[in-house]
Amino acid sequence: MDKTLKINSLAADNEEMLPICDREGKIIGKALRSICHKDKTLIHPVVHVHIINKAGEVFLQKRSKKKLIQPGKWDTSVGGHITFGEEISEALKREAWEEAGVVDGKFEHITDYLWECPLETEFIHVYKCRYENPEIIAKNEIDEGRFFSFSEIEKHLGKELFTPNFEHEFLRIRDELRAN
């Protein structure tokens, strides 16, 4: 079944077209990003990358206070939408460069899962990457970034410091993040 949505002729020419997938991650259509964020039934895939340094610390980004979702909270190292027609590997490289300046990252797949929040539903492909010197590139989306120890993260869980999605994901994958 093709769930491709007709594009509103008034939509901005530069708006992203996102793939739409079923609850198992299979692509079944496409829609404009703005439409995906208005209709929770339109599941769209994203990538998350957890950057780990040699000391075993996790790099987190602090979301801009201007963001619509979870402004000013600490979040996954890298996260972003996969655009329609883009491979996961391409999205990983693009997002890791755009958000954290990662060049030639080696991405290791951890898991995939469905995440639902009040605004949208995402099918998340989760990876980790060893990298020592990330830098914030997307300064319009990210206020700052730094490495956190596992104990520091665990100490602040449930205290509104992190996004709910990061907390959920961290608890789900922390053993995989610790593993070499």
Per CATH, the number for 17-178 is 3.90.79.10
- CA gap 25, 61 in Å, rounded: 26
3-class DSSP state of 76:
coil
pLDDT in tens, 105-133: 999 999 999 999 888 899 999 999 999 99
| pTM beyond cutoff 0.85 | yes
Dump the DSSP string for 8-48: PTTS-TTPPEEEEE-TTS-EEEEEEHHHHTT-TTSBEEEEE
What is the predicted pLDDT for the residue at 6?
42
Whether pLDDT at 15 is above 50: yes
| Residue range 157-168: mean pLDDT, rounded | 97
Give dist(CA 18, CA 120) in Å, integer. 13
pLDDT in tens, 85-96: 999 999 999 999
Rounded to whole angstroms, how far apart are CA atoms 173 and 113? 11
What pLDDT shows up at residue 7? Answer: 43
- Domain boundaries, given as residue ranges, for the chain: 17-178
DSSP 179: -
Going by C-alpha positions, the residue among 165, 4, 178, 180 that lies closest to residue 76 is: 165
Residue whose token pair is 């290791």 = 108
